Amino acid sequence: MHRFFYFLTVAAFFVSCATVPITGRKQLAVVPNSQIIPMSFDNYQQVLKESKLSSNATQTALIKKVGKNIQSAVEQYMKDNNLSSELAGYSWEFNLIESEQVNAWCMPGGKVAFYTGILPICKEEAGIAVVMGHEVAHAIASHGRERMSQGLVQQLGGIALSEAIKTKPEETQALFHTAYAIGTQYGAMLPYSRLHETEADKLGLIFMAMAGYDPHEAPKLWERMKALSGGASVPEFMSTHPSNDSRIKELNEYMPEALKYYKK
Ligand SMILES: [Zn+2]
C-alpha cells in the first residue's frame, strides 16, 4: 500500500512540480495557487469571524506596518528575480487577534494573523519582523501547498483539487487545515518539517533584511523562544516551531548571505 502511494507521489512529482524561491528546491505542486487562494481567503474570513481583534490601536498599527514592510520586500525580491507571477492573486492583510495563544501564521495569498500572546516574545518591531518574515516565507515557499499536494496524493489518490472539493468537501477542508496548520480550533496542528522550518528561516532572514530590519535580531528572537520552551507549559508556537541550538546555529551561518540584502 505504502509503495503504491510512494509511486503516486513520485509520479505526481514529475508531472507537477514547482521551485522554491531563493533555495531553488524542487517541490510537489499538484494543486494550483488559483484553487488554493480562494480556500485560504474563506478560511481567513472564518478565523477573523470567530476571533476577537485586538483593541490596542498602537500594537495593531505596528503589526500592519511591519507587515507592509515585509510585503514590499517580498514584492521587490520577486520582481528582481522575475517571479512576480508567483504572487498572482495575492491580497495582503495583516491582523492582530486578541488571544493568549503564542502564535502567528500567514495563509497563502498573504493573509497574516498575529496573536497578542506572541508580542512579549517579539519584544519590539524588529522581533515582529523576524516572526513576520518567517511566516510570510512559509507562504512564499508554498509549504502548505506542498503538504496539501502530498495529502491529496496520499489520502485522496491524487485526484484534482477541483474534483476533491466537489466530491469530498469535508476531507478536502481537513487536508487544508492540516496542511496550513492554522489553529487549534481546527484540531491538532501539524508542525512543519525541519526542512520547511530551515527554508522559512532563510527566506525570512532575507525578507526582513530587505525590509530594513537587522537580521541579527532573528537568532536573538529564537533564543527567547528557546528559553520559553523549557517552561512548564509549552506554548503553541513552540510546539510547531521548536527552537534549539541547531536552529540558532543555522541562522548565524546564513547571516552573511542575509546581510548582503540588509538596507539600513
Ligand atoms: Zn515555521
**Tens digit of each residue's pLDDT, the chain (264 residues):** 455 555 555 555 555 788 999 888 888 887 888 888 998 899 899 999 999 999 999 999 999 999 999 999 999 999 999 999 999 999 999 999 999 888 899 999 999 999 999 999 999 999 999 999 999 999 999 988 888 888 777 777 766 777 777 888 888 877 777 777 654 444 444 677 888 899 999 999 999 999 999 999 999 999 998 887 666 566 667 767 777 788 899 999 999 999 999 976
Residue 176 within any structural domain of the chain: yes
Within-domain flag for 8: yes
Distance (Å) from CA 196 to ligand 1 centroid: 7
* pTM of the predicted protein model: 0.86
In a domain, 264, yes or no: no
Question: Is there a domain that residue 194 lies in?
Answer: yes
Residue 213 belongs to a domain:
yes
> In angstroms, what CA-CA distances link 110 with 31, 50, 135, 213, 260?
17, 19, 10, 20, 25
129 Cα–ligand 1 center, Å = 14
Instruction: Using the mean position of ligand 1's atoms as its centre, give its distance from the Cα of residue 46 in Å.
Output: 22
Q: Is residue 128 part of a domain?
A: yes
For residue 132, give its domain range: 2-259
Question: What cell was used for 132?
Answer: 513576520
What is the 167 CA–ligand 1 centroid distance (Å)? 32
How many structural domains does the chain have? 1
Domain-embedded: residue 95? yes
Residues in Cβ contact with 159 at an 8 Å cutoff, skipping those fewer than 6 apart: 152, 167
Q: Which phi and psi (to 5°) does residue 45 adopt?
A: -60, -40
Ligand 1 center from residue 240 Cα (angstroms): 7
